Structure formats: structure tokens, C-alpha cells
Chain A
Amino acid sequence: MIIGFLILLSCQLVGEVVVTFFEVPIPGSVVGMLLLLIGLIVVGKVPEGLRLSSEGLLSVLPLLLVPAGVGLMTHFGVLSEYWGQLLIALFVSTLITMFVVAGLLKLLSKEKLEEGER
């Protein structure tokens, strides 16, 4: 468990160092996630402790989002002014995105995806 947590934090730390060093605007945690994925592919399995820590963290992920979400209270000015535009932008954009992706996947690979079902 502790080793698992250490692995997660180390990957994040290396990720943070990498993005700082190369001065790229990519989150260090996302780079850490790719590093861990590469590490897992190299090792060929998920160590027990890492699985415990990861699944523990991911099972409470919604809770982890709450403090950042509460920060919405500092944006009430923007929200009260633009809530209509923001809602329309979100709705139309999500509609277009899902429509195009669904259409593309249907065209590309109906049989292939069915093969992929476990």
C-alpha cells in the first residue's frame, strides 16, 4: 500500500520535473500517468500494492473533486453574466462531438469492435 502510493507520487514528481524542465504547459500528473503506463507495460503486470492504492484513490475520485468545485463560488460574477452562453456552448459542442464520434465509430468498425467484446 505504502509502496503503491510511493510509486504514484514518484511518477507525479518525475512528471512535474519533466514539464518544468521542458517548459511545456502539460499537467505533470498526466505525464506521470503516461510514465506509469509505460512502466506497467515494461514490467508486464500491476504490483499488488499499486493496485490497492490506485483503486482506493479512484474509488473516492468524486470526493477529491469537491474542494476545486467549491471554488465556483469565486466565479459567480462570470457565471451570472454569461451562464446562458456557457450552457449553449457546452450543449452544442457536446452534441456535435458525440454525434461525430458515434458516426465515425459506426462507419469504421462495427465488426471490429464487436470482436473486441470480452
Chain B
Amino acid sequence: MWQHFQTFPVLWLVVTLVVFLLASWINAKAGKTPFLHPVLVSLSLIIVVLKVTETEYVTYMEGGKYIHLLLGPAVVALAVPLYDNLATVKRLLLPLLVGCVSGAVIASASAIAIGAWFGLSDQILLTLAPKSVTSPIAIAIAEKVGGYPSLAAGLVLITGAMGCLIAPLIYKVLRIKDESVKGFVLGVGAHAMGTAYAFEYGMVAGAFGGLAMGMTGAFTAFMLPLLIPIIGL
């Protein structure tokens, strides 16, 4: 009976939506802490459900793929907020480009270097490389360069939570008060989770966070295929 029922794709769509709503509610109750991010909570709960019901990931994806399919057009849609902030980009072209390029290169290269020092396999290193990039782009990058897309999604989320934790310390040490710098740093280092956190500092910080996230994501997608052969992976 259950064996037959678990092959209904709609079942897993319903499970995903219900769990996501529950996770969003939990996150709101917990004061929106990045450590109980709705995506982290959702995927943990769904994995528990799948383990308990002895359902394979491929069976779950029979339903999940319909949601996953929308990631592509959602990445394309990131062009709209970028366009909305175009005036800012033009005015601050040099500092924003320097911040975005240096951040993207350091984030990927340092993660690969530390991972290599620990002796992790090439495929895990390729999965670590896009860890500071917003998850939809990171998943796409990992698929393209030969990493594990699902693992990349998880590492990106953990990076986001860590970035939100690290950022206030860095502002203190470097005595940074400028809202736009705070937002941009969060967007470069901690993608969408950092951007959401940046909105806590104000609208300007949030806008710069979103801008940094879009620029860094697009730049990393073009940079990594060039960087990877240079480091010999």
C-alpha cells in the first residue's frame, strides 16, 4: 500500500510545501535566527521524513523536480533587482567591482586551499568552491564544474549562517560604520542569507547586500571555470 502511495509525485510536493510553511513559522518564532533558516530546517525535516518512511531521494525528486525546475528562471530573474540598482553600480563602479572580484576570488581560492590542505578529494574541493555564492547559482555551478550540487547547497547554507555570525565581529575590529559597506560585505561573503541579515541594519544595507550577491554570483560563475584549471583541479 505505502510502496504504491510513495510513488505519487504530488505527495512529495505537498510534503515539501507543508514542511516549508512549518519551517518558516519556526524561524519566525525563533526571531529569524540564521541558524534556524527555513531552508536548513525544511531539508532536515524532509530528510527525517524520507528516512523514517524508507523513501529514496530519487523517489522524492519525482515530486521535488517540479519545484527544482523553477530555480533556472529564478536565477534569470535576479537580473531585475540588479537592473533596479544599476544607477548605484554605475556611480560606485570601481569600489564595487574591486569588492566583488576580490571577494569572489578569495572566497573560492581560500576554501579550495584549506580543503586541499586537509586532503579532501577533488570533487569535494569543486563543491567547496562556490560556497559564498547564492544557492541557485552555486547549485548550477557545482553541476557544471563537476562537484556535488546537493552538497554545495548545504555548504552554501552553512556559509550563510557563519557569515551572519562573523560580520558583526569584523565591523567591530575594522570599525566599520557605513551601512552600504556593511551590506556589501554580507552580500559578498554570505549571499542571500547575508542580504536578509543586512536588512536588519537598514534598507541601504539590504540593497547593497542584494547587489553584492548578484554581482558575486554572476562573476563567480564565469571565474571558476578559468580558476579551476589554473589550480590544477
Contact = CB atoms under 8 A, between A and B. Distances in A.
Interface of A: 5, 8-9, 11-12, 15, 24-30, 32-34, 36-37, 40-41, 46, 50-51, 53-55, 57-58, 61-75, 78-79, 82, 85-106, 108-110, 112-118
5 contacts: A33-B218, A51-B80, A82-B120, A89-B114, A98-B170
B230 interface: no
B79 to A, nearest CB: 4
Contacts of B198: none
Contacts, number: 316
A39 B136 CA distance: 22
A113 B92 contact: yes
B166 A95 contact: yes
A74 B150 contact: yes
Given A9-B73, A12-B76, A94-B163, A72 B43 contact: yes
Give the bracket for the number of chain B residues in contact with chain A: 35 or more
Interface of B: 16-17, 19-20, 37-40, 42-43, 46-47, 50-51, 57, 60-61, 64-65, 67-68, 70-84, 86, 88, 91-92, 94-95, 98-99, 102-103, 106-107, 110-111, 114-115, 118, 120, 124, 128, 131-132, 135-137, 139-141, 143-145, 148-151, 153-155, 157-159, 162-163, 166-167, 170-171, 173-174, 176, 178-181, 184-186, 188-190, 192, 204, 207, 217-218, 221-222, 224-225
